[in-house]
Amino acid sequence: MNNSEAERDNTLWRSGWYRFARAMPSPNFGLRPPGTVVDLIVVHAISLPPGQYGGPEVQQLFSNTLDWNAHPYFETIRGLEVSAHFYIQRNGELWQFVDCGARAWHAGRSHYLGRDNCNDHSIGIELEGIDGGLFETAQYETLSSLCASLAAQHNIQHIAGHEHIAPNRKADPGEGFDWTFLQQSLGWPTKYFPEVLKAVLAP
C-alpha cells in the first residue's frame, strides 16, 4: 500500500469498518479461516416481518435483540442467530454489523464456483426487500458505491445473489433485482457475475 492508498483507507475504512455506514456491532460472527482471501460479495434481501419496511427489526435480528413475541412471523425464526456485514434500507441508509475482516453469518449452507461455506470468503450485503420484489434506486446507489469501495479494499472477483450460492434453498434477492443496472453502475465485466446472468448482462 502506497501513501495515497493508505490515506484513502484511513478516510473510508477504520480497519474493517466502513465510515459511511452506521455501525451496530453484532455478536454473530467468527474468524475467517487463516489465509482466506475475501473475493466474493453476496447480495441478499430481507425484511421483518417480510414486506414491511422502515422498522428496526432487521437490525434487532442481527444484534440478537429482536422480540420474538412481537409478531407471529418471528415465531418461525425464534432463536435464529445470523448477521450480515451490511444492510441497506429502502432509503439507501447503510448499516454495518460485522467487521469485513471477520466472518458474518449470512450465507448458511452454500457452494459457489467450486467452494463450500461461502461465509468464509465473502462479504454479505442485505437489501431491505423481499424475494422477487423490486428495489429502490437509493439502494442501488448505496450498494454500488459500497461494492466499489469493497473492491478497492479486497481482491473482489465475484458478486452473486444468495440464490446463486444456495440454489433450491434460497431465492433472494430474486427476479426483482436488477443485475444489469448494478453491472452498469459498477462497470464490472460479466465474468464477475453468475454464469446464469450472462444472457442479460453486457459482455
Given the rule CB under 5 A, which residues bind Zn ion?
Answer: 44, 162, 172
Q: Give the Cα separation of 92 and 68 in Å (integer).
A: 27
Is 126 a residue of the active site?
yes
C-alpha cell at 52: 414491511
- Minimum CB separation of residue 116 from Zn ion in Å reads 17
Nearer to Zn ion, 9 or 120 (CB): 120
Burial class (CB in 10 A: 0-12, 13-18, 19+), 34: exposed
C-alpha cell at 107: 450465507
Nearer to Zn ion, 12 or 171 (CB): 171
Compute and round to an integer the Cα radius of gyration of the chain: 16
C-alpha cell at 7: 490515506
- Minimum CB separation of residue 94 from Zn ion in Å reads 17
- C-alpha closest to that of 50 among 117, 133, 106, 162: 133
Q: Pseudo-torsion of CA 181, 182, 185, 186, nearest 10°?
A: -150
- Report the DSSP pairing between strands 29-30 and 86-88: unpaired
- Minimum CB separation of residue 55 from Zn ion in Å reads 19
Nearer to Zn ion, 158 or 162 (CB): 162
Backbone angles phi and psi of 47, in degrees to 5: -160, 150
The residue annotated as part of the active site, out of 7, 81, 126, 141, is: 126
Nearer to Zn ion, 128 or 172 (CB): 172
- Minimum CB separation of residue 44 from Zn ion in Å reads 3
- Catalytic residues, by residue number, are 126
